[in-house]
């Protein structure tokens, strides 16, 4: 497939969740004849089961398609999919940087949402040509004209040349494909210049090592070339290059403008960073491509096997998952309460959720997750700075000068009637008000700076319930600020359970402490003895409640017909017991460890 | 077959009216249904070819006495050939349908134990749960039964019915004791989904209230000379239900009739609850093979319900395993807390009253080891 740059179109699709991005991608694949509709599973780009179920794209994918235009010429389309969640914003920006254009998909029945805005700005930042695509126009409630007006007024992108499609029925898709040829610029770049290729994704293959997905900006890469990764500083020899249609087709080389894959016997995915620049070892580029950032995990939690015999299995599973997920970090740790496990770092809460589900589903492990924590910068009196990812390890307060915590800049788009409750929520969560503006006649955008730890504490759920689900929310990491923070310990039966410790804002200590222990009380089943649950700050108990001892659990009637049913019931209880962790003499169900998060102020 | 069941349960699913809490297989009585039912019942009974002596027969329901006198007579006659050598022959009765004629028939056919559903001694409560008798009916029924020569009578009482306060319940107990019967069953209310209570979201008594009422029952009935011999059962000396002991000792029994369960050889089975299927001879709906591990669970969970408890020698014989040794740590813990009691001479472990009340957690802990 040797093609002139003029015949290449590199583009992404950006959209809010559920606005039909993946369906449109499928339709494009189908229309370009890459795959016949019979072979198609729905949403082919989202290949993980989990992605299918959740309807979101987690892992990036790119496909090369050939399309014969109405003018009789054949074009190469490189469609680069982007993940649809705030945890992966950086990956989105890198994949956008590999394109010249983007299809901005907006649901004709929903209009513009916060995420649409955020991703569009990312595309604009990357100088992309943006084609507005109004999707779902086949629905009776579609209002394409209104949505176009909204795009023009709110995002500032002209909709004179917008496209009305139904990804579901295929309506308007042909016109869209012709529009892509006409409107999206063909790639620039000099094939004779030193090699500069942008890494926008990678995955691990047990035969070939890490497979890197790249966009060649300048120059050419050939099989056999010695390459140099400019940010990680590593050198390799290229063993294979090619394109994905989505089946891989090997080629001899990739040249400026093309999107494809590259293998070079790279053993560790952690050496391959999205945003890094590939160049040749000899006569390489002087400057790397702009926009590179190191991705650091933002949220940490402890992962422990319920059955301590599963420790090795959990380790193996984490190692396997991290082969393909450079942003997943883990180190061994021990908890007095939970035994041997791992402290794992994630890009965000969704990332954490996904890893947990994959471990439980694909590796069949029963896990206990401790409540997620952010990284605190603990400044000691002797000037040392500790990056703390595990609340229970907070040093003696007398040796701490001050603690800093990470903040995010959050934009919340909401129908205007909910502005009051949202402001109240943000205030409650120690938000710093930045801005508020009208988005259109009915909606407003609120901008706050919020401690990340407050978002980790059921912020999404709260926001949803405060706004009946109408608000949408987006955030980016901003900076660290000093905070009046203390460690809250939970004691069960008089013993501190390290895995239940959290770092909290001192003035809300009592409310939060009470909230946590009440929640724990609800999930710990009655046992043979009374269990006091206490919340303590600095060794001083601030709140207490008790789980009463079991007083009667026996089934009243047990005659002929009840016997088999009763046995099933007992066996079910036995299974439930297996999933509990014994700490001292107290049996604690998994939910207890997450209950730190789900405290509800109304409970108090 | 040496292991042939020695107990026979017969289910009569008909009732004149349906009680709000009842979860048993039950149907509104119509004479046409009942006649046809007795034909199928005989067919099922015959299919077991029972030609050895039984120890106990129990006719339950529903309401066996809701049958007409003729049907009732037909039922008892059908069972005559099994009564040889039977020590205990029980029929469940409703106070309002226990006529002199029925008492006479039962006496003739060898029935020697009656179980009467009293449930509450307060008429306004009885009315509220759709029972159609008064406490006066109960007293009259019992005195007629005595006159007819029945000297082994059980009454049922429900603990924790809606609107029954602690004071009302204590009155219930005093009234029940004054009936001077041989056996009392007290069941904490369980609300099942497909009952009037379930549909109306009636709440079960809380764990603590239920326990409090059981404590009172335990104390008052023991004082009145009853032995608390099973979680929900109290009896005068030597008046424990032999038939029900079959269940609690994990022994085999025939179960015949709509929705009835049985345990024969290695199989536990449950009959269909569909009258149409039953009429068409499709009796058994579910069948479970009881393997070695299942049997251990059944044996443990059932035996620990009674004051006889778990016979460790029998356990060793049945399962070729030393139960005490296997669970020593847990057993010693519970024995230390006086929830379980170890009788060394008889090599038997049984639950104290306090242990019986929390038996589920004890059993689950033992099963988890």
Asked if B104 and B24 sit in the same domain, the reply is yes
Q: State the pLDDT at residue A221.
A: 96
Mind listing the pLDDT tens digit for each residue in B109-162? 999 999 999 999 999 999 999 999 999 999 999 999 999 999 999 999 999 999
Nearest-CA distance B305 → chain A (Å): 9
pLDDT at A600 exceeding the cut of 60: no
Tokens representing A136 are 């779902």
Q: State the pLDDT at residue A531.
A: 95
For chains A and B, count residue pairs whose Cβ atoms are closer than 8 Å: 100
Any domain includes B85: yes
Q: State the pLDDT at residue A84.
A: 58
CB within 8 A of A82, min separation 6: which ones? A12, A13, A14, A57, A60, A91, A92, A95, A96, A119
Asked if B55 and B138 sit in the same domain, the reply is yes
Asked if B65 and B209 sit in the same domain, the reply is yes
Q: Which residues of B touch A559 (CB under 8 A)?
A: 244, 247
Asked if B312 and B242 sit in the same domain, the reply is no
Quick check: A556 and B356 CB within 8 A?
no
CATH code, domain carrying B212 = 3.20.20.70
pLDDT at A59 exceeding the cut of 60: no
pLDDT at B8 exceeding the cut of 80: yes
Average pLDDT over residues A476-498: 93
Any domain includes B236: yes
Pairing outcome for strands A502-505 and A485-492? antiparallel
Torsion over CA: A577, A578, A579, A580 (sign): positive
Tokens representing A421 are 């409750």
Q: State the pLDDT at residue A601.
A: 45
pLDDT at A555 exceeding the cut of 90: no
Mind listing the pLDDT tens digit for each residue in B265-320? 999 999 999 999 999 999 999 999 999 999 999 999 999 999 999 999 999 999 99
Q: State the pLDDT at residue A35.
A: 44
CB within 8 A of B185, min separation 6: which ones? B115, B154, B155, B156, B157, B232, B233, B234
pLDDT at A471 exceeding the cut of 90: no
Average pLDDT over residues A511-516: 90
Q: Which residues of B touch A556 (CB under 8 A)?
A: 159, 187-188, 190, 231-232
Average pLDDT over residues B335-354: 96
Q: Measure the CA–CA gap between A84 and A22, rounded to whole angstroms.
A: 10
Angle at A429 between CA A423 and CA A435, to 5 degrees: 40
Quick check: A559 and B305 CB within 8 A?
no
Q: Measure the CA–CA gap between B290 and A20, rounded to whole angstroms.
A: 53
End-to-end CA distance of chain A: 66
Q: Kind and range of the H or E element at A80?
A: strand A74-80
Asked if B78 and B212 sit in the same domain, the reply is yes
pLDDT band at A203 (very low <50, low <70, confident <90, very high): confident
Any domain includes B297: no
Mind listing the pLDDT tens digit for each residue in A225-278? 999 999 989 999 999 999 988 778 899 999 999 999 999 999 988 889 889 999
Closest Cα partner for A37 from A48, A54, A23, A51?
A23
Cβ neighbours, 10 Å, residue A8: 20
Q: State the pLDDT at residue A14.
A: 86
Any domain includes B278: no
A176-to-A24, A133, A429, B74, B129 alpha-carbon distances in Å:
11, 8, 45, 83, 69
Nearest-CA distance B244 → chain A (Å): 7
Mind listing the pLDDT tens digit for each residue in A347-396? 888 888 889 988 988 899 988 888 889 999 999 999 999 999 999 999 99
pLDDT at A54 exceeding the cut of 50: no
Residue with tokens 């990340």: A452
Domain count, chain B: 2
Q: Which residues of A touch B297 (CB under 8 A)?
A: 567, 570-571
pLDDT at B15 exceeding the cut of 60: yes
What is the value of ipTM here, to two decimals? 0.92
Q: Is A383 on the interface with B (CB under 8 A)?
A: no
Asked if B45 and B171 sit in the same domain, the reply is yes
Any domain includes B279: no
Quick check: B368 and A550 CB within 8 A?
no
Average pLDDT over residues A19-31: 83
Asked if B240 and B369 sit in the same domain, the reply is no
Domain that holds residue B312: 308-369
Domain endpoint, select from B247, B273, B299 = B247
Domain endpoint, select from B247, B264, B290 = B247
Of A528, A550, A559, the CB nearest to B247: A559
**Residue count of chain B:** 369
Give me the DSSP letters along B187-234.
EE----TTSHHHHTTPPPPPHHHHHHHHHHHHHHHHHTT-EEEETTEE
Any domain includes B252: no
Q: State the pLDDT at residue A33.
A: 60
Q: State the pLDDT at residue A552.
A: 93
Q: State the pLDDT at residue B339.
A: 96
Asked if B214 and B317 sit in the same domain, the reply is no
Quick check: B367 and A526 CB within 8 A?
no
Quick check: B358 and A555 CB within 8 A?
no
Average pLDDT over residues B243-264: 96
Percent of chain B past pLDDT 90, that is, above it, reads 91
Mind listing the pLDDT tens digit for each residue in B68-104? 999 999 999 999 999 999 999 999 999 999 999 999 9
Asked if B39 and B144 sit in the same domain, the reply is yes
Q: State the pLDDT at residue B357.
A: 96
Of B207, B261, B361, the CB nearest to A560: B261
Domain endpoint, select from B247, B268, B294 = B247
Q: State the pLDDT at residue A604.
A: 36
Mind listing the pLDDT tens digit for each residue in A403-431? 999 999 998 988 889 999 999 999 999 99
Mind listing the pLDDT tens digit for each residue in A79-129? 987 765 666 778 888 889 999 999 999 999 988 877 677 778 888 888 999
Average pLDDT over residues A294-306: 87
B121-to-B19, B118, B133, B226 alpha-carbon distances in Å:
16, 7, 10, 19
Quick check: A553 and B270 CB within 8 A?
no
Residue of A nearest to B211 (CA): A552
pLDDT at A196 exceeding the cut of 90: yes
Asked if B237 and B319 sit in the same domain, the reply is no
Mind listing the pLDDT tens digit for each residue in A134-181? 999 999 999 999 999 988 887 888 898 899 999 999 999 999 999 999
Q: Which residues of B touch A553 (CB under 8 A)?
A: 207, 357-361
pLDDT band at A3 (very low <50, low <70, confident <90, very high): low
Asked if B237 and B338 sit in the same domain, the reply is no
> SS3 of A177, please?
helix
Q: State the pLDDT at residue A534.
A: 96
Any domain includes B266: no
Q: Which residues of chain B have a Cβ shorter than 8 Å from any chain A Cβ?
A: 9, 24, 159, 187-188, 190, 207-208, 210-211, 214, 231-232, 244, 247-248, 253, 255, 259-263, 268, 270, 288, 294, 297-298, 301-302, 305, 337, 339, 356-361, 363-365, 367-368
Tokens representing B150 are 């029945």
**Residue count of chain A:** 604
Quick check: A577 and B368 CB within 8 A?
yes
Any domain includes B288: no
Of B298, B357, B368, the CB nearest to A563: B298
Tokens representing A331 are 């180190």
Mind listing the pLDDT tens digit for each residue in A520-554? 998 899 998 999 999 999 989 999 999 999 999 98
Give me the DSSP letters along A84-135.
-SGGGHHHHHHHHHT-SEEEEEEETTT---HHHHHHHHHHHHTT-EEEEEEE
Quick check: A553 and B363 CB within 8 A?
no
Closest Cα partner for B229 from B267, B273, B182, B269?
B182
Q: Measure the CA–CA gap between A388 and A403, rounded to whole angstroms.
A: 10
Asked if B220 and B360 sit in the same domain, the reply is no
Residues forming a β-bridge with A106: A134
């Amino acid at each position: 497939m040797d093609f002139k740059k003029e015949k290449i179109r590199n583009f992404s699709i950006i959209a809010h969740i559920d606005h039909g991005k993946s369906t449109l991608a499928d339709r494009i694949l189908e229309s370009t004849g890459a795959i016949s509709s019979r072979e198609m599973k729905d949403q082919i780009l989202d290949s993980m089961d989990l992605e299918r179920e959740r309807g979101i794209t987690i892992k990036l994918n790119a496909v090369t398609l050939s399309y014969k235009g109405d003018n009789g010429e054949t074009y190469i389309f490189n469609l680069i999919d982007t993940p649809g969640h705030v945890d992966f914003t950086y990956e989105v920006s890198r994949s956008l940087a590999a394109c010249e254009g983007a299809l901005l998909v907006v649901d004709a029945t929903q209009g513009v949402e916060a995420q649409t805005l955020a991703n569009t700005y990312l595309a604009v930042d990357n100088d992309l040509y943006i084609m507005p695509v109004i999707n779902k126009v086949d629905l009776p409630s579609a209002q394409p004209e209104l949505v176009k007006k909204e795009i023009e007024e709110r995002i500032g992108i002209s909709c004179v040349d917008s496209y009305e499609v139904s990804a579901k029925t295929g309506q308007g898709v042909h016109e869209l494909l012709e529009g892509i040829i006409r409107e999206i610029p063909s790639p620039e770049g000099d094939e004779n210049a030193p090699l500069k290729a942008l890494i926008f994704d990678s995955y691990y293959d047990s035969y070939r090592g890490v497979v890197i997905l790249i966009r060649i900006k300048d120059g050419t890469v050939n099989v056999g070339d010695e390459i140099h990764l400019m940010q990680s500083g590593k050198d390799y020899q290229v063993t294979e290059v090619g394109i994905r249609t989505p089946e891989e087709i090997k080629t001899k080389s990739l040249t400026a403008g093309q999107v494809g894959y590259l293998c070079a016997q790279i053993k560790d995915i952690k050496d391959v960073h999205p945003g890094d620049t590939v160049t040749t070892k000899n006569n390489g580029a002087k400057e790397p491509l702009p926009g590179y950032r190191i991705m650091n995990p933002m949220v940490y939690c402890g992962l422990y096997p319920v059955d301590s015999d599963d420790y090795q299995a959990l380790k193996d599973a984490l190692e396997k998952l991290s082969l393909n997920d450079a942003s997943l970090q883990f180190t061994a740790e021990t908890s007095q309460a939970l035994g041997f496990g791992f402290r794992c770092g994630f890009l965000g809460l969704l990332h954490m959720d996904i890893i947990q589900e994959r471990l439980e589903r694909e590796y069949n492990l029963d896990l206990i997750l401790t409540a997620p924590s952010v990284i605190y910068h603990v400044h000691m009196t002797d000037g040392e700075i500790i990056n703390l990812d595990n609340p229970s390890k907070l040093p003696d307060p007398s040796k701490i000068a001050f603690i800093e915590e990470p903040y995010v800049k959050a934009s919340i788009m909401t129908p205007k009637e909910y502005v009051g409750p949202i402001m109240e929520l943000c205030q409650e969560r120690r938000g710093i008000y930045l801005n508020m503006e009208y988005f259109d006649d009915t909606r407003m955008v609120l901008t706050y700076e919020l401690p990340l730890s407050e978002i980790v504490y059921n912020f999404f759920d709260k926001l949803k319930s405060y706004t009946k689900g109408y608000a949408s929310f987006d955030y980016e990491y901003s900076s660290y600020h000093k905070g009046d923070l203390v460690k809250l310990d939970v004691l069960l039966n008089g013993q501190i359970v390290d895995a239940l410790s959290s770092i909290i804002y001192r003035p809300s200590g009592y409310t939060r402490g009470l909230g946590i222990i009440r929640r724990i009380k609800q999930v710990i089943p009655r046992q043979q003895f009374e269990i006091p649950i206490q919340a303590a700050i600095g060794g001083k108990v601030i709140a207490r409640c008790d789980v009463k001892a079991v007083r009667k659990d026996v089934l009243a009637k047990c005659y002929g017909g009840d016997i088999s049913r009763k046995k099933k019931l007992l066996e079910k209880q036995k299974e439930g017991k297996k999933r509990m962790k014994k700490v001292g003499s107290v049996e604690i169900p998994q939910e207890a460890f997450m209950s730190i998060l789900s405290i509800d102020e109304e409970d108090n | 077959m040496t292991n042939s069941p020695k107990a026979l349960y017969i289910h009569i699913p008909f009732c004149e009216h349906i009680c709000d809490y009842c979860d048993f297989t039950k149907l509104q009585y119509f004479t046409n249904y009942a006649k046809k039912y007795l034909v199928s019942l005989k067919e099922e009974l015959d299919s077991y070819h029972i030609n050895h002596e039984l120890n106990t027969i129990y006719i339950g329901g529903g309401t066996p006495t809701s049958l007409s006198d003729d049907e009732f007579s037909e039922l008892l006659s059908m069972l005559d050939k099994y009564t040889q050598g039977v020590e205990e022959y029980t029929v469940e009765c409703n106070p309002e349908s226990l006529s002199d004629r029925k008492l006479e028939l039962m006496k003739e056919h060898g029935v020697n134990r009656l179980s009467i559903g009293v449930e509450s001694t307060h008429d306004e409560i009885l009315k509220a749960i759709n029972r159609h008798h008064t406490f006066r009916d109960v007293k009259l029924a019992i005195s007629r039964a005595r006159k007819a020569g029945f000297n082994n009578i059980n009454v049922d009482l429900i603990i924790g019915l809606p609107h029954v306060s602690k004071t009302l319940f204590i009155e219930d107990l005093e009234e029940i004791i004054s009936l001077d019967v041989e056996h009392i069953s007290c069941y904490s209310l369980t609300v099942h989904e497909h009952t009037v209570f379930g549909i109306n979201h009636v709440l079960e008594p809380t764990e603590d209230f239920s326990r409090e009422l059981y404590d009172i029952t335990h104390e008052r009935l023991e004082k009145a000379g009853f032995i608390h011999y099973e979680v929900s059962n109290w009896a005068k000396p030597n008046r424990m239900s032999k038939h029900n002991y079959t269940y609690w000792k994990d022994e085999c029994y025939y179960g015949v009739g709509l929705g009835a369960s049985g345990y024969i050889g290695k199989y536990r089975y449950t009959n269909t609850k569909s009258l149409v299927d039953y009429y068409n001879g499709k009796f058994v709906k579910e069948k479970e093979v009881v393997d070695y591990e299942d049997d251990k669970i059944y044996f443990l969970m059932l035996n620990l319900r009674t004051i006889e408890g778990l016979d460790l020698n029998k356990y060793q014989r049945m399962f070729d395993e030393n139960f005490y040794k296997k669970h020593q740590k847990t057993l010693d813990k519970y024995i230390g807390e006086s929830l379980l009691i170890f009788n060394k001479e008889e090599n038997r472990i049984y639950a104290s009253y306090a242990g019986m009340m929390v038996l589920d957690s004890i059993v689950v802990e033992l099963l988890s080891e």
